[in-house]
Structure 1
Amino acid sequence: MYETCSLADSTPDHVAGTWYSVPDLRLRDHRFTVPLDYSIDRNASPEISVFAREVVSGMNSRTSCTLLVFYFLYSSYLRCCCVFFLQRGTGLSTPLTPSSMSQLGSAEEIAEYLKYFRADNIVNDAEFIRVRLVPEAGPWTVLGQSYGGFCSVTYLSFAPQGLKQVLLTGGIPPVGNGSTADAVYRACYPQVIHQNEKYYKRFPQDVEIVREVVKHLAESEGGGVPLPSGGFLTPRGLQILGLSGLGSSSGFERLHYMFERAWDPVIVPGSRKQISYYFLKAFENWLDFDTNPLYALLHESIYCQVDLLNPLLAFLNPLLFWFKGDSSLWSAHRIRTEDDGKFDAIRAVKEGRPVFFTGEMVFPWMFEEFHALSKFKDAAHLLAEKKDWPPLYDIAVLNNNKVPVAAAVYYEDMYVNFKLAMETASQVAGIRLWITNEYMHSGLRDGGGQVLDHLLGMLNGRKPLF
């Protein structure tokens, strides 16, 4: 059965692997050679490789349905043919790591190369794959989790002809005029504070433990301690643990267990107290910058784009149709100074307050304190100053959307602000929303079957309109 619905022989721009099996599933890997820059002639653009994994469950075949999944689905839930798509620059899709990017010479070359790794080109890759993978090049259903949801809304904006349905989980981006990086972080910081308060309410014993660690770091030589792979752990670096620790269902516990082993035992009386190697290694493993610097380099750029001018002005002067958008200029770092010291770790210790962790934020000093990022410092500054980012969304197209869309919106999502998500939802014609506080941002991982059942039910008429 599987061979009868398998792909044709491989082509120069598509290498299809052979089917293999794991319990209850049949899988096949695909590697596509795509242009780095879709805006120029294919022969003139450098090429990269994009990886996708085709998964078929039970007796289903590829002719029944094809679901494109942005990022892996952390669930055994699978009822059709799924294509797990690893975005360019990650996983097996020409991964951009400190070692691979060392092939690029200057900071300018790195910044120029990385500008092609945002959602606009991720969608171009998806369309490249769709016409080669889907039977008769038909449309497919897209599931976008988190940033995958942002990419899905870009897909709706610029290539809706490739979409049958769209499912969004914790991934409705800010799209309106004025939805700058500054606006996003002004909205997100209060939710980060709320998550900190919830964490310390669950683990009140950690208030003092975290303060002790901050005090130790601040009083150490140079204001911090060396990390196992190089770099330096400072009080502000410690706060970045909130990136993963505060936003998912199991993050609180993982963070707490990590701080349980923050200190080496004093086995010789009178020895100086010191932070354990276990804790320092766990800190580095948690952040993962050594294997995925792309997040730190490009995160703020996902909130940067040019805006469309008033159509009348465009008609009067086509040269004014586009104008330069805002650069991020280290938005999270600047907006953090507006909090009246709430995120100042050393000040919190002095004032006897809980030390607040930060959230999904990138700061310029990270490129000095973390060894894996240090070689990208100059490139990071160039990207933060870049103004001419291309558009990621088209509000006019979204206003006239015809593709069925269902979205799970998590009320206390730390990464995707609820208010901004609602503003975007009001711009997407026909979108159906499931607003819930039963799950955090990790709802798809924690309850994939229930979440997908609910969203598909909304699209397929099994859930009432009201």
Structure 2
Amino acid sequence: MTVTPNLTSTTTRRHGHTVHSYLLTAPLAHPGTDPAGRTIDIFAREYVPDGGEDLPRLLFLQGGPGHGALRPTAPTREIGGWLGEALRHYRVILLDQRGTGRSTPVDAASPDALGPTPAARAEYLTHLRADSIVEDAELLRSALGSGPWSLLGQSFGGFCITTYLSRHPEGVREAFFTGGLPGYAHDPRTRADDIYRATYAKTAVRNERFHAQFPGVERTVRDICRHLDGADERLPTGERLTSRRFRMVGMDLGRTGGFDSLAYLLEDPFVSVHGEKRLRTPFLLGVCDRVRFADAPLYAVLHESIYAMGGATAWSAARVGETLPGFTDETDAGDRDAPVYLTGEHIRPWLFDEDPALRPWREVADLLAGKDDWTPLYNADVLSRTAEQGVRTAAAVYLDDMFVPFELSMETASHISGLRPHVTNRWEHNGLGVDGAGLFRTLRELALDH
């Protein structure tokens, strides 16, 4: 074990690579303005290929918010994808963003660990956004004595890269985005409402395509909603399943293979029990796996805050959704002329009552939704000089992206000087997980070909 100021490291061998594990002590409030001097732990793993001790470093920023970094388990799986391709050229660092994994994790079972009151817990969580994640990365880079490094960001990880380029372009050598160019990065007046209007529009299109590809599925969704509005069906976690929560399975509509996954879930949902119509246990298990947040409460609690700059989000997803046909909480599943859509990344306040893992966070989520003094996450002037800083950038932008709309991503791309977009409809939002090696290779070639 090696110990340096604020950094502890251990080394082992896994999957044919040298693996360094780092634990860094960081201030909760960057840049150390917290009178209480609170600190948190930041954890990261570095994979080093044999003979690659002098390779440049690449930092991977995970999607989310609220999910820990990749945990490689088999050379033929994770290391056979983008990670294996990256290890041909880099030492790769997998960072647990603050609040996730081993970086002082926020656990659904212990909200009191963040503070004695909802207000104290909400204040704590304001320090878990992209700006603080970037400062953690810079602390780690400094502690490792590393020069500018390369960045790979998936989804929310790309939002973090945009913040990184805005705040510390001197720390970046190359930046690769996959489905993660945030909308309106050039406009500090952006409201979360603008983002959600765009994502709802994309989600409606995905629903219509799903219905067209799988005839009968629209009727099945209506039947399930109508049944849940009148029957007491329980998830394996014990709580009643409502029709509005069931519709959250629509997250799958934005993933490669998601149409098929949902079609299989919906192909035979009902069973007759003593003449009574009930939902099958395998169906309820499948729904539960898709709509619960016990393993990642931060995703739900912080989701709207990733779009917040300046004013309050005020439960934007709920307010906007209630104005759009097909996305209101209360639907008339029997009215064939009124659409009933499955939903996507649209967190609504009732979820904190219906999901047992989120109930302790309801007051905290309300306070975050009401916060009206969020700091800016992006700097348009600095982004416009990215190329002048010597940073090479490339981005995979998906035409059919349900979570990060194509049009908004391309608008942001036009404001990051030198960025080279790779536009494709071959993959959905999760392209990095489906063809990671090919996608990473393409982005690297684009960034180097200046």
TM-score for both structures, normalised by structure 1: 0.86
Q: Partner amino acid for 1:419?
A: E
Matched position secondary structure for 1:278: helix
- Structure 1 partner of 2:285: 281
Q: Does 1:11 align with 2:19?
A: no
Q: Equivalences for 1:34-113 in 2 at 5 Å?
A: 34-41=26-33, 44-61=36-53, 63-71=54-62, 72=69, 75=81, 76-77=84-85, 78-79=87-88, 80-103=90-113, 104-113=115-124
Mapped partners of 1:414, 1:390: distance in 2: 26
Q: Which range moved further: 37-46 or 50-59? A: 37-46
Mapped partners of 1:219, 1:99: distance in 2: 31
Mapped partners of 1:235, 1:444: distance in 2: 32
Q: Equivalences for 1:109-258 in 2 at 5 Å?
A: 109-133=120-144, 136-174=145-183, 175=185, 176-220=187-231, 224-243=232-251, 245-258=252-265
- Structure 2 partner of 1:446: 434
- State how many pairs are aligned: 425
Matched position secondary structure for 1:429: coil
Is 1:230–1:370's contact at 8 Å kept on the other side of the alignment? Answer: no
Deviation string for 1:165-213 (max 9, x for gaps)?
Answer: 1011100012113321011111111110111112222222322222221
- Structure 2 partner of 1:26: 18
Q: Equivalences for 1:218-367 in 2 at 5 Å?
A: 218-220=229-231, 224-243=232-251, 245-260=252-267, 262-263=269-270, 265-266=271-272, 270-305=274-309, 325-341=310-326, 343=328, 346-351=331-336, 355-367=340-352
Instruction: Give, in angstroms, the shift of residue 28 of structure 1.
Output: 2.3
Q: Partner amino acid for 2:108?
A: P
Q: Which range moved further: 415-424 or 203-212? A: 203-212
Mapped partners of 2:25, 2:425: distance in 1: 41
Instruction: Give, in angstroms, the shift of residue 251 of structure 1.
Output: 1.5
Mapped partners of 1:344, 1:299: distance in 2: 19
Is 2:27–2:38's contact at 8 Å kept on the other side of the alignment? Answer: yes
Instruction: Give, in angstroms, the shift of residue 137 of structure 1.
Output: 2.5
Mapped partners of 1:261, 1:110: distance in 2: 43
Q: Partner amino acid for 1:20?
A: R
Matched position secondary structure for 2:245: helix
Superposed structure 1 runs of 4+ greater than 6 Å apart: none
Is 1:119–1:392's contact at 8 Å kept on the other side of the alignment? Answer: yes
Mapped partners of 1:410, 1:147: distance in 2: 15
Matched position secondary structure for 2:25: strand
Is 2:2–2:10's contact at 8 Å kept on the other side of the alignment? Answer: no
- Structure 2 partner of 1:393: 378
Mapped partners of 1:345, 1:355: distance in 2: 10
Is 2:225–2:333's contact at 8 Å kept on the other side of the alignment? Answer: no
Matched position secondary structure for 1:274: strand
Instruction: Give, in angstroms, the shift of residue 277 of structure 1.
Output: 2.8
Instruction: Give, in angstroms, the shift of residue 449 of structure 1.
Output: 1.2
Mapped partners of 1:43, 1:53: distance in 2: 31
Change (3 A) 1:98 1:66: same
Q: Does 1:456 align with 2:447?
A: no
The gaps in structure 2 that reach 5 residues or longer are: 63-68, 71-77
Q: Partner amino acid for 1:195?
A: R
Mapped partners of 2:10, 2:141: distance in 1: 17
TM-score for both structures, normalised by structure 2: 0.89
Deviation string for 1:382-428 (max 9, x for gaps)?
Answer: 10000111110111111122221111111110010111112211211
Is 2:6–2:25's contact at 8 Å kept on the other side of the alignment? Answer: yes
Q: Partner amino acid for 2:182?
A: P
Q: Which range moved further: 444-453 or 339-348? A: 339-348
The gaps in structure 1 that reach 5 residues or longer are: 1-7, 306-324
Please report the RMSD computed on the Cα atoms of aligned residues, expressed in angstroms.
Answer: 2.0
Mapped partners of 1:383, 1:19: distance in 2: 41
Mapped partners of 2:240, 2:120: distance in 1: 27
Q: Partner amino acid for 2:370?
A: E
Change (3 A) 1:434 1:41: same
Q: Partner amino acid for 2:208?
A: E
Mapped partners of 1:188, 1:67: distance in 2: 30
Deviation string for 1:292-331 (max 9, x for gaps)?
Answer: 11011111111111xxxxxxxxxxxxxxxxxxx2110011
Deviation string for 1:193-240 (max 9, x for gaps)?
Answer: 1111122222223222222211110112xxx53322233311111111
Instruction: Give, in angstroms, the shift of residue 454 of structure 1.
Output: 0.9
Change (3 A) 1:233 1:424: same
Matched position secondary structure for 2:43: strand
Matched position secondary structure for 1:49: strand
